[in-house]
Amino acid sequence: MNHRGHDILMMSSLEEAYTQAVEKASASVVSIGSARGIQGPAFRPWWRRGIGAGVILDGEGHVLTNHHVVDDAERLLVTFPDGAVQGGTVVGGDEETDVAVVRVGANGHRAAEFGDSDAVKLGQPVLALGNPLGLSGGPTVTSGVVSSLSRSLAFVGNGQRMIQTDAAVNQGSSGGPLVNLEGRVLGILTATIPHAEGIGFALPANEVRAVAAQLLEHGRVERVWLGIAGIDAGSRAAAYYGLQASSGVFVGDVNPGSPAQQAGLQVGDLILGIEGRNLGRITDLQGDLRGRKAGDVVDLQVRRGAQTRSVKASLAQRP
């Protein structure tokens, strides 16, 4: 086979991978229309409408989406890939991670397949599926790559780790999936930065599914509490305090009566690691704590002055 034939074959295989991934993923993407009543002229309510997307979580009528898509909604309409429309109710939502679960009357729809978001690689090809502007005709598809795996946003997800992509993410795509070329969900689209082109973000699928499990079980997320206010050791704020370190978490405040205070942590301590694993940034500490429950004891490696010591803290449920 000559080079031209080889190139054509490779292009054909790539096109097939993309189209098959879209076909598989789009079968589990829904459109979510929300409305809330607002007092209008002559004391008549008029409806403020919003549009978003969602991912079918299971075959029992549960849909995964963003909290901001359904927050304060008085009416929800979920449109499935086959055109069926069902009213929906919010099972639970978590503003901190911007995750919500909606229940609809219909079941038996095709659930999405999820990939391991911890295995996502920088530069990996991805596809974003959403419902921009509420246009009919099924989800809109954009393509790109994973642009960064070390981003965190203060205005969404409480600073938790995000997957950044250059796949176009437009208004109405919130709650839709970011998928790999096998059609498996790697993240849930959640945010764009106004006036910034080619930058979109998705919540990692592993963390989203963990939140969804708690919402289904409790209707809310039960979180543990260490009780510190921390900043990245390598940040400008840390440099202001004269901290000479490139990684770790600088303790800027300790809550009275918190597990941190009871364990003996002090303002000015530098948390270098947890359970023997090095901490690069505060998001690493937050990510570790999200996977724990009240009563768990964590071993923190802490530098105080010139000495490094082990500090054991018994985590409590967040007040």
Under DSSP, the state recorded for 136 is S
Exactly one of 26, 28, 34, 68 is catalytic; name it: 68
- 174 annotated active-site: yes
Number of neighbours of residue 171 by Cβ within 10 angstroms: 14
Q: ∠ at Cα 193 (192, 197), nearest 5°?
A: 90
- Residues 78, 100: Cα–Cα separation, whole Å: 14
List the alpha helices (DSSP H) in 27-127: 67-70
- 3 annotated active-site: no
Q: Characterise 121 by phi-psi region: left (phi > 0), alpha (psi -120 to 50), beta (else).
A: beta
Closest CA to 264 of 314, 311, 317: 311
Exactly one of 26, 174, 232, 258 is catalytic; name it: 174
Exactly one of 28, 31, 34, 98 is catalytic; name it: 98
Number of neighbours of residue 151 by Cβ within 10 angstroms: 13
* Catalytic residue positions, numbered: 68, 98, 174
